[in-house]
Structure 1
Amino acid sequence: MSDGHRERSGLEPYEPLNVLKPVGPDIWIVDGPEITLAWIGLKLPFTTRMTVVRLDNGDLILHSPVEYSPELRSTLEALGPIRFLIAPNSLHYWWVPDWKAQLPEAMVLAVPGLEKRAKRPIQVDQPLIDRKSPWPDEIGLLVVSGDVLTEAIFFHRSSQTLILTDLIENFEPGRIHSWFFRLLVRLAGAADPDGKAPIDMQLSFFRSSQALRKAVRQMIVWAPERIIIAHGRWYQQNGVKELKRAFRWV
């Protein structure tokens, strides 16, 4: 997530934090610390989650990196060299510059227009272009753009894992400490077990609904077994079923 800072916990974290959690062959997640996001004068808590993919040549991709630490870097480099840092949408970029500062040879890939929209300086080495994956044999790529959000969607072929960021949010109400935020999440339509894009984000895709519908069809064709998301409970099975449910508004 972007312009956040740490405060008193508002969500039950997905512990343990800052450790690798296996998802499938050559893919892991790392749950990071909570941040807050400013929205219409409110400060809302969000959990953070990074996805780590190891390519066939051993190189590592860090998708939506969580907060940098030497200990986490050391753990990751035991798997392979960190070659790619991905800012997968126009909100999830905040810690990319910190990783880049420590790993100057790593390539930053980001959605188009991020450098102008970001609220801190970020060096982008290569834009993510729709259906032009840098690793086409291993990872499929789609890029969808709404009025508020541009997001890159990744499909890790060997593990049958779809990697989303904010296009589905699935907050577990039992993990939310604030009754007010719990109510907001339910009203927004982003509460487990029926998590999806919040209603304001859905409305922001009104003018580009046809392109999004086409992207959803491609995601279904990929037939993912699991879906990783950045916020809330991710889906360890029944990926196609969850896609059809979560994107029925499209």
Structure 2
Amino acid sequence: MTEQAYEPYAPLNTLKPFAEDIWIVDGPEIRMNYLGLRIPFPTRMTVVRLPDGSLWIHSPIAWNDDLGCALAELGPVRHIVAPNTLHYWYVPDWHERFPEARTYGPADLQKRARRKLQIDETLAETAPPAWQDAFEQCLFPGTILTEIAFFHRPSATLILTDLIENFEPERIRRRLLRWAIRLAGPTHPDGKAPFDMRWNFIGRGDAVRAASRRLVEWAPERIVFAHGRCYESNGLAELKRAFRWAL
């Protein structure tokens, strides 16, 4: 077995309370193809219980039977969200287990995905009726990666995917990888979008600036994202720091 590149946020595949009606689940490490390389990444999904008692799954990780049973105790899974054009791979696996759920993703994801993918509803600037009582959302349009940010109003929690990454250097086991991530920029305590993602938004500065300012207007108390240490407090200050490149 290949040695893991990161110290995991154990226990994996376990619901961890993050805020009222919000849980995060840290999953197994994966390898993503990037510039001909297989780059390791930790994974994380977010679960929100909506006012009607149904569950909203954001950026699903690899399917796990025990996790599925734990979710069934929380409520029915009715919404499975691919929040950007990279975090979609496990949506079909989750939809197979919860066929009654609807699937959501950015425009053109179905065409660009590298596996067969069903998207029932395209995500945009306005929250769909299914969750507009709980969420605000806004779109960050990129040339390669487009992401939708979500703000859970009841708990003042901002839910991102790759717009902030915050790798803790002491959790990165490989020296070369630690050096590369430091060079790219998204390391704790100054987590932010890596340089390649910021390049992805070149030419769309006005739209990205407006979206970033909207996040600031929401004034989140906490922020969760897919890679690295989340912000359980002081969310607005961390957001302003992390998005200084866009604001």
Q: TM-score, normalised by structure 1?
A: 0.95
> Which of 84, 89, 92 is the matching residue for 2:87?
92
C-alpha distance after superposition, 1:103-155 (max 9, x if no partner): 11110011111111111110001010112344222111111111111001000
Distance 1:40 1:180 in 2: 16
Q: Please say if 1:175 is aligned against 2:171.
A: yes
Check whether the contact 2:44–2:227 (CA below 8 A) recurs between aligned residues. Answer: yes
Distance 2:183 2:55 in 1: 38
Distance 2:10 2:77 in 1: 24
1:217 maps to 213
1:3 maps to none
> Which of 47, 52, 64 is the matching residue for 1:57?
52
1:202 maps to 198
C-alpha distance after superposition, 1:30-69 (max 9, x if no partner): 0000001121222221110010000011000000011112
For 1:1-250, list aligned pairs within 5 A. 7-134=2-129, 135-250=131-246
Check whether the contact 1:161–1:228 (CA below 8 A) recurs between aligned residues. Answer: yes
Distance 2:15 2:6 in 1: 21
Check whether the contact 1:130–1:144 (CA below 8 A) recurs between aligned residues. Answer: no
Q: CA deviation at 1:7?
A: 4.4
Check whether the contact 2:5–2:174 (CA below 8 A) recurs between aligned residues. Answer: yes
Runs (5+) with no aligned partner, structure 1: 1-5
* Percent of residue pairs bearing the same amino acid type: 53
The ranges of structure 1 where at least 4 consecutive aligned residues each deviate by more than 3 angstroms after the TM superposition are none
Paired residues, what number?
245
Distance 2:36 2:106 in 1: 27
Check whether the contact 1:7–1:36 (CA below 8 A) recurs between aligned residues. Answer: no
Structure 2 counterpart SS, 1:237 = coil
Distance 1:165 1:227 in 2: 10
Distance 2:190 2:126 in 1: 28
Q: CA deviation at 1:185?
A: 0.5
Structure 1 counterpart SS, 2:154 = coil
Runs (5+) with no aligned partner, structure 2: none
Check whether the contact 1:133–1:139 (CA below 8 A) recurs between aligned residues. Answer: no
Distance 2:22 2:232 in 1: 13
